[in-house]
Amino acid sequence: MATFRLFRGSAAFVFGITVVAGSAIAMIVLALLERIIPFVYQAPSRLRRAPAAAGWLFWNIVGRFALGARGECSGNIPSAEEGEVRILIANHPSMIGAMFFLAFVSKFVSTQLVWIGKSEHLWNPFIGWPLWLIDGAIFIYRAAREQALAAIGLKVPFAAAQGAVIGIFPDSSRPTSSAIAKNHARHAARGVDVSQFPHTLVPSSGGVAEILDGVRGRKVIIINVTAGFNRPDTRYGDIFGLVGSTYFFHVEVLENFPAGLDERRAALIALWVEKNQRLCHWKQSGFL
């Protein structure tokens, strides 16, 4: 059994790197050609839906074939109406889970997404470069808070007007043990009960508030997604334990999201407590 897991986990690792690298190179090359050839490029890039195809490949090759994983989805969202703005908030996926998340969000939410991402991703040729070239992300420098919020307020209305779903991870970072520990220590000093967040960082409301302010006056739909495996997936070595695992994806529309900043912060905290309860249930029971 251990040899079987080692073989399939190793295959998943190799296939995963191949799919991610190959997809990134393809998007970069096509995006550059799109800009070089006269009269071809349009804003937004026609390739904005390309990550959805990469996610689909990853799920089928790495998830279903190599790992023998299965996916379960619960909840639903209504069809998009003309003129409405859709904002997606979700718990930040792990490095292993990122492409699984992309596959499911593309299938059950939208294939046209624009993410709010940290500027550090621009150093990553597999994430930052293709997303930047295909107009798939708004990159912000988190250390300069006012500048970051201004960029969100300026660019989000433009992307939303093009029909893109705006995606943001309010907990801001992959849930590694070190990231969670640092984040919890900071919030515990502010009086937050961090024991309610065993699987995620504590969320921040600044980016969500700025997105909502940027599309003020338009009909806004907030889509809440909770996603994760029924087994640990925060370290690269955890991929061997994901053989035969289940990836869960829950989606819902939030009703009456608060307007005030303090109320939004409280609402996000409550949502992330609920997300952690759901993640705990998935990992302990293995069922939706």
Model pLDDT for residues 198-222, shown as the tens digit of each residue: 999 999 877 788 788 778 888 889 9
Strands (E), 41-177: 70-74, 85-90, 113-118, 137-140, 165-168
Instruction: At 247, list the tokens.
Output: 């990836």
**Whole-number pLDDT of residue 40:** 55
d(CA 97, CA 101): 6
Strands 85-90 and 165-168, by their bridges, are: parallel
pLDDT (tens digit, 0 to 9) for every residue of the chain, 288 residues total? 678 788 888 999 899 999 999 999 999 988 888 777 755 555 666 788 899 999 999 999 999 999 999 999 999 888 888 888 899 999 999 999 999 999 999 999 999 999 988 888 899 999 999 999 888 999 888 777 778 777 777 888 888 888 899 999 999 899 999 999 999 999 999 999 999 999 999 998 777 887 887 788 888 899 999 999 999 998 888 999 999 999 999 999 998 888 777 888 899 999 999 999 999 999 998 887
**Whole-number pLDDT of residue 80:** 81
The SS3 call for residue 149 is helix
**Whole-number pLDDT of residue 141:** 81
Instruction: At 79, list the tokens.
Output: 């069809």
Q: Which residue has tokens 């998935």?
A: 282
Residues 187/189/195/200 CA torsion (nearest 10 deg): 20
Instruction: Assess contact for 110 and 136: CB atoms under 8 A.
Output: no
Cα angle value 73/121/277 (rounded, 5°): 35
- Domain tally, the chain: 1
d(CA 280, CA 272): 12
**Whole-number pLDDT of residue 41:** 55
Torsional sign, CA 176, 247, 17, 240: positive
Counting every residue written for the chain, the total comes to 288
pLDDT tens track for 219-264: 889 999 999 999 999 888 899 999 999 999 999 999 888 877 788 8
Instruction: At 244, list the tokens.
Output: 């035969």
Q: Which residue has tokens 């334990």?
A: 241
d(CA 171, CA 89): 10
**Whole-number pLDDT of residue 82:** 81
Which distant-in-sequence residues (6+ apart) come within 8 Å of 223 by Cβ? 77, 86, 87, 88, 89, 109, 165, 251, 252, 253, 254
Element of type H or E holding 246: strand 246-254
d(CA 3, CA 137): 40
Element of type H or E holding 20: helix 2-36
- Max CA separation in the chain (angstroms): 58
- Tell me whether residue 207 is exposed, middle or buried, using C-beta atoms within 10 angstroms of its C-beta: 0 to 12, 13 to 18, 19 or more: buried
**Domain membership of residue 39 as a residue range:** 2-285
**Whole-number pLDDT of residue 264:** 87
**Whole-number pLDDT of residue 34:** 77
Number of Cβ within 10 Å of residue 19's Cβ equals 19
**Whole-number pLDDT of residue 158:** 84
Torsional sign, CA 125, 128, 132, 134: positive
- Tell me whether residue 285 is exposed, middle or buried, using C-beta atoms within 10 angstroms of its C-beta: 0 to 12, 13 to 18, 19 or more: exposed
* Amino acid sitting at position 250: H
Query: Where residue 144 sits, what CATH number does that domain have?
Result: 3.40.1130
